[in-house]
Amino acid sequence: MRIEVDTAAIAANVRALAARAATPVCGVVKADGYGHGAVASARAMLDGGAAMLGVVDLAEALRLRAAGIDAPILAWLHGPGVDFSLAARHGVEVAVSSIAQLEAAAAAGAVIHLKLDTGLGRNGIARGDRAAAIARAIALAAGGARIRGAMSHLAGTSRDADLAQVRDFASALAEAEPLGLELRHLASSAAAIALPEARFDLVRIGMAAYGVDPSGPGAGDGSEAAALGLRPAMRASAAFVDGVAEVGLDDGLLPAVGAPVLLGGELAHVAAVGACSIRVEPPRTGDGVLWGDPAAGEPSADAWARAARTITYEVVTRMGAAGRGAGVVAAGPETAPRRVLELGLDGEPRRLVGELVGVKRVEPGLGVSYGGEYVTTSATTLALVGLGYADGVTRSATGRPAVVGGDGAHPIRGRVAMDQVVLDVGDRPARVGDPVVLEHASAPELTGMIGPRVAVEVAGSVADADAMELLGERIGAALRAGDAVLLIGPLGAGKTTLTRGIGRALGARGTVQSPTFVIARTHRTAAGPDLQHVDAYRLGDEAELDDLDLDLDGAITVAEWGAPLEHALESWLRVEIDRGEADGDDESPRSVRLRGHGPGWDAARVRSLTAPVPTEEAP
């Protein structure tokens, strides 16, 4: 699978859209630039005249800053652990969706936009909280807080419903008059193109900038985008052998049976989509274009969306990220909501784990998410989860159950968005930060794909000491110089047993045994780097760590009770071992969890530690 991105098309699209809307543009590059690559897309949008960039979370914003982009950036969705002082320090503006976020962002000195819910029922300050939020903002501004803008987002249910949102937004702006707001913004691509009343001071343009008609796949031939003067920026292709290419559902491909593929100068059609492969008829061999530029005779991404009964947004966002192999390192809680795909030790998906990023009471009759397909029937509590189709929750997941806080399961309500889904939890208590779990068993289509913002954790049960040593061997086989493995778990959990397996894989000389009495023991290995086996239990501070004189760059370090080493490392693999209920029995199963931290342990590398369980018919 190969993704090519025409950044000149993105720049030209932004230029055309800015001229059409006659309004400054905020170029939206969330979810890795809708699969096109965030940094390259951001640069192209700025080239095309964008005045600002829009992202979902601080992690995305800081990645743009790290790439040297110094344009204004706005981030509008924050997890419960967000540290707004990072926003202030890096000059990232933040939109706040609750009074609590407003207080925190103001205290941190960040530049603030109020994000108001005017009828989307998703992110944003609820109507019922609006007056109090605006009053509080006015008080904070009087005390020096920097409140620069207000924004809302349209549901696109109908022209009339959008105009009702425009009026509601305008009335909120009237209330906020004393704030002297500089940037008032409501429209995304669709309204920027077709609803002048919604344009205000800034239009936030995502999909149209990538050359896709925001109003849907249309006739499936890309003609609507072309009529708007837009050029698609993404070309997806794959190598086919006898009609089969090795790209499938696990890569984010949607089950688009019937979609066209340009192969050998002629159109073939998708006959089947499997986990790791796709088959077209007739079965030709060669480079096939899945979608590209219809003006050049290639199929359109719209055609894939039609065949998969979804919108083109999902096609490019999922496939682009997967096809570009975007190995983004998952962000920490201070910059992004929790997004974790948990795999079993055999590599099978178990569940997708997120958290509540917003909880609000709303009125009856409120449409939820785009198109307002779910409408609240009474006063209720809506809970917002920071996972969307960019993270693997495919749009067909509406209605699937999500478990909040370990008990009640609630169906996903309304359409799945790129970064968010909404649950209606009724009158049950729910709090920002509550964990949310989508079980693979109840929604197998959700969790095959790993979105680029999603961390991978491997978890499972290890039957006995032999199995623990085998797991150690598997980990050891993947290690290289400079790696660190931190083992966390109670006495007798099996940390030394696991290390013995690592030692065996590395060909370590001497006997691997508990390092408790020596604190650190170095084993030469057959050919590779040394294995340093450390007991960090009594390491008090960094000075004591320094005294050990470990070679953290040249050797492989395995530290039991390893948590204190985190401060000295950029990347590490954390292995948590738990004895579970069956305390005291040395041969009882252990539960194990593998978690990567830092650039050295991205999702793909953590995933590489899994191995399929051998079956009878395996070759």
76 binds ligand PLP (CB under 6 A): yes
Task: Name the minimum Å distance from CB 419 to ligand PLP.
Answer: 7
| Minimum distance from residue 520 beta carbon to ligand PLP (Å) | 50
Active site residue 360: no
Are 226 and 314 within 8 A, CB to CB?
no
Q: Closest approach of Cβ 177 to ligand PLP, in Å? A: 23
> Which stretch, 14-22, 201-209, 473-481, 522-530, contacts ligand PLP (CB under 6 A)?
201-209
Q: Considering the complex, what minimum distance in angstroms separates the CB of residue 56 from ligand PLP?
A: 7
What SS3 state is found at 585? Answer: coil
Of 206, 292, 529, 596, the one binding ligand PLP (CB under 6 A) is 206
Among residues 370, 383, 366, which one has the least CA distance to residue 415? 370
Q: Work out whether strand 374-375 and strand 380-385 pair parallel, antiparallel, or are unpaired.
A: unpaired
Count CA atoms within 13 Å of residue 29 on its CB side: 34
**In whole angstroms, how close is the CB of 378 to ligand PLP at the nearest point?**
27
| Residue whose CB is nearest to ligand PLP in the complex, by number | 206
CB 151 to ligand PLP: min, Å: 7
For residue 30, indicate whether it is catalytic: yes
Interface with ligand PLP (CB under 6 A), residue total 12
The upper half-sphere exposure of residue 516, i.e. CA atoms within 13 Å in the direction of its Cβ, equals 5
Please report, for residues 101, 540, 546, the alpha-carbon distance to residue 543 in angstroms, rounded to integers and kept in the order given: 38, 8, 5
Q: Which is nearer to ligand PLP, 19 or 241 (CB)?
A: 19
* Rounded Cα–Cα distance for residues 488 and 500 (Å): 16
Say which of 210, 313, 370, 389 is annotated catalytic: 370
Of 113, 153, 184, 495, the residue at the interface with ligand PLP (CB under 6 A) is 153
Residue 28 as a binder of ligand PLP (CB under 6 A): the answer is: yes
CB crowding 59-95: b at 16 or more within 10 Å, else e: bbbbbbbeeebebbbbbbbbbbebbbebbbebebbbb
CA distance 191 to 199: 7
- Residue 528: which residues within 8 A CB-CB, separation 6 or more? 480, 481, 506, 507, 556
395-454: contacts with ligand PLP (CB under 6 A): none
- Tell me if 205 contacts ligand PLP by CB under 6 A: yes
Residue number, 115 or 350, with CB nearest to ligand PLP: 115
Nearest to ligand PLP of 214, 323 (CB atom): 214
Question: Interaction with ligand PLP in 155-194: which residues (CB under 6 A)?
Answer: 188-189
Minimum separation from the CB atom of position 204 to ligand PLP (A): 4
Give residue for tokens 């749009």.
Answer: 395
Of 1, 207, 289, 432, the one binding ligand PLP by CB under 6 A: 207
Is 204 a binder of ligand PLP (CB under 6 A)?
yes
Q: Provide the token pair at 169.
A: 């937004």
Read off the amino acid at residue 409: A
| Binding positions for ligand PLP, 52-71, rule CB under 6 A | none
Stretch of 200-208, 235-243, 367-375, 378-386 contacting ligand PLP, by CB under 6 A: 200-208
Q: Residue 73: beta bridge partners?
A: 53, 92
Q: Specify the residue, 153 or 306, whose C-beta has the smaller distance to ligand PLP.
A: 153
Residue 612 contacts by C-beta under 8 Å, 6 or more apart in sequence? 346, 347, 618
DSSP structure string for 9-24: HHHHHHHHHHHHHTS-
> In this structure, are residues 132 and 103 in contact, taking their beta carbons and an 8 Å threshold?
no
Q: What is the dihedral of CA 325, 331, 337, 341, to 10 degrees?
A: 50
Q: Which stretch binds ligand PLP (CB under 6 A): 164-172, 198-206, 564-572, 608-616?
A: 198-206
Member of 37, 80, 214, 388 binding ligand PLP (CB under 6 A) = 214
Shortest CB 392 distance to ligand PLP, Å: 18
How far does Cα 341 stand from its chain's mean position?
10
Listed ranges 205-213, 243-251, 380-388, 437-445: which one lies at the site for ligand PLP (CB under 6 A): 205-213
**What are the residues binding ligand PLP (CB under 6 A)?**
28, 30, 76, 153, 188-189, 204-208, 214
Query: Which amino acids are annotated catalytic?
Result: 30, 370
